[in-house]
Amino acid sequence: MTVRDTSAESSATATIRSVAHAAPLTPSDRYWLFLAMLPGLVAAGVYLFVMPYPGYGAGLYAKIALELQANGYLLPARIPGYTVDGVPFAYPPLQFYILAVLFDLGFDPIAVARVLPAIAVIATQIPVYLLTRDITESRPTAAIATALVVLNPQVLQWHISAGGVVRAFAFLYAMVAIYAGYHVFTSGNRRAMVLGAAAFGLTVLTHPTYTLFVVATYLLFWVVLDRSLIGFGRGALVGIGGLSIAAPWLWWVLSTHGLDVFTAAAGTHGGIGGGLEAAVAFLSPYHVLLLAAIGYLVVRREYLLVSWLVVVAVLFQQSRFAYAVGGIALATALYDLTIRARLFGRLQAFSLGRFDRRAIGTVFLVVGIAVGGVYVSSEFASQSDPLAPAFIDDSSVEAMEWAAAETPPDATFVVVGDAAEWFPMMTDRTILIGPWGVEWEGDGPFERQITAYETSSECQTATCVEQVAASVGGSPDYVYVPRGRYTIRGHGMVTFGSLERSFDRSPKWQRAYENRDVIIYRSKPVFESDESEQ
């Protein structure tokens, strides 16, 4: 071996040691991280086992990815199929590029929407664990918090379902950015600043609401942990770095649609604020337990988690953000209270042996995984009110395949029920009624479309469907009518055939296709309708 070889080997060894030293995980984390990951693995496994189709919908997201493909991976100005004029494309594009690549590789859009979110749900447990471990300086607390976050129904249903192809990854990037932010404001670590900027940039390129979640958290962390001008500057550099990563897309969307597209969307989906009012409107035993945990943490002067939870609960109507932070706060209070009260020590008389911190944490997690696994299984498998109902099934897919093959390319549809969300992507046909993507047009158009969608999906007569379509300026060539059970914005509905019988009696419509669960009616030409009335 030459001197140069020895020098190179020493340099490589030093680099490996440096990377290992900088790594956030240590050998002591192996046991607890393994336990922390189990709940997510159980939840994902149960979901994939009991759900042959993805929960909720990701048809618009898949349609965007397909339009990216068709446009040579250049961003399209509008997405066709959703309403007669299509909808503006102003969504952050990162995940759509990932979807487009997967579709180019031959993966089926429905399969991707079913499996990909589960991967992000599992991966998100790592930054949640690391953040909680470093805030509480307790690995058992971190593992318990990770389980509480991933198994929370609100957090799980919006991330593991089909829309998780965007939302679950936004949550993953956001939690990495927040984990880095904690170290930006506690140690000023440069590596943390770089990681935070990169993760924040990915968040900006994925979902606007999760971007605000990161921004609000950084400001809070600075107020509680730092409050210095230097610390504020570090946080600002992270923000500037992240925005620099997203700058090409921001420039494109502003030059294509203008600033109005963001102000228009801000007023939809509840906007910002009002989260506390929404939480107070629905109190559950979990809320009571969470309030008790907050009180305990206040007594213990653990203000970071309390203030973070309050800020998130006030800012965001989407309760998943408050439940995610609440899971960390609840785990911190429960584990700390258990250790301090020595509850398990009092049980030694029952020959339960010596309980240490590892045993207490393990008991919490094993019980939590068992109970959580049973709960998640029952919620996803429920026939009456599943946690994340699928918008499509075998019958709806068959009906959409027929529509794609047997109707003119310029045909317009009214689709009753949530299958409408997938319909344009599956058929390459236009739906006249549907709120998806219309938020970028502003609150007025969005409210008109969502009202029309809900009304048409509850119609009991053909005339009702026709009138609702006319209210948004359309007259459909075809109407897709589900039989039996279907959903409207995720809520279960049952039809007893009233709408089907009305279309059958109408001289303006005729059956064009049917299977066990779906009927598609075709509008008769005017002269045919006149003859049938004679």
Phi, psi of 157 (to 5 degrees): -65, -30
Predicted local distance difference test score (pLDDT) of residue 387: 80
How many Cα atoms within 13 Å fall on the side-chain side of residue 329? 31
pTM reported for the whole predicted model: 0.89
Please indicate, yes or no, if residue 54 is contained in any of the structural domains.
no
Least confident of 111-120, 134-143, 233-242: 134-143
Q: What are phi and psi of 512, to 5 degrees?
A: -110, -25
Residue 252 lies in a domain: yes
Residue 321 in any domain: the answer is: no
Q: Is the pLDDT of residue 12 over 60?
A: no
Both tokens of 503, joined, read 């279309």
- Domain boundary (266, 288, 314) is at 266
In a domain, 8, yes or no: no
Structural domains counted in the chain: 2
- Asked if 380 and 388 touch (Cβ cutoff 8 Å), the reply is yes
Q: Which of 295-304, 357-366, 499-508 has the lowest mean pLDDT?
A: 357-366
Question: Of 266, 296, 326, which one is at a domain's C-terminal end?
Answer: 266
CA atoms of 116 and 124, how far apart (whole Å): 13
Quick check: 66 pLDDT over 60? yes
Amino acid at the residue 67: E
Res 209 pLDDT > 60: yes
- Look at residue 139 and tell me if it is in a domain: no
Residue 447 host element (H or E): helix 443-458
- For 256-283, what is each residue's pLDDT tens digit? 999 888 877 776 655 565 555 555 556 6
pLDDT digits (tens, 9 = 90+) for 367-410: 666 666 666 666 676 666 678 899 999 999 999 999 999 999 99
Terminal CA-CA length for the chain: 101
- Of the three residues 207, 237, 266, the one that is the final residue of a domain is 266
On whether residue 132 sits in a domain, the answer given is no
For the ranges 1-10, 17-26, 68-77, 176-185, the lowest mean pLDDT is seen at 1-10
DSSP string, 59-80: HHHHHHHHHHHHTTTSPPSEET
Of all residues in the chain, what percent carry a pLDDT higher than 70? Answer: 82
Residue 490 belongs to what domain range?
394-533
Give ∠ CA 88-89-95 in degrees, rounded to 5. 155
How would you classify the pairing of strands 478-482 and 518-523?
antiparallel
Q: Is the pLDDT at 6 greater than 80, yes or no?
A: no
Has residue 42 been placed in a domain? no
Is 82 among the domain residues?
no
Query: Contact at 8 Å (CB) between 271 and 450?
Result: no
**Angular region, 258: left φ>0, alpha ψ -120 to 50, beta rest:** left
Residue 159 to residue 321: CA distance in whole angstroms: 11
| pLDDT tops 90 at residue 24 | no
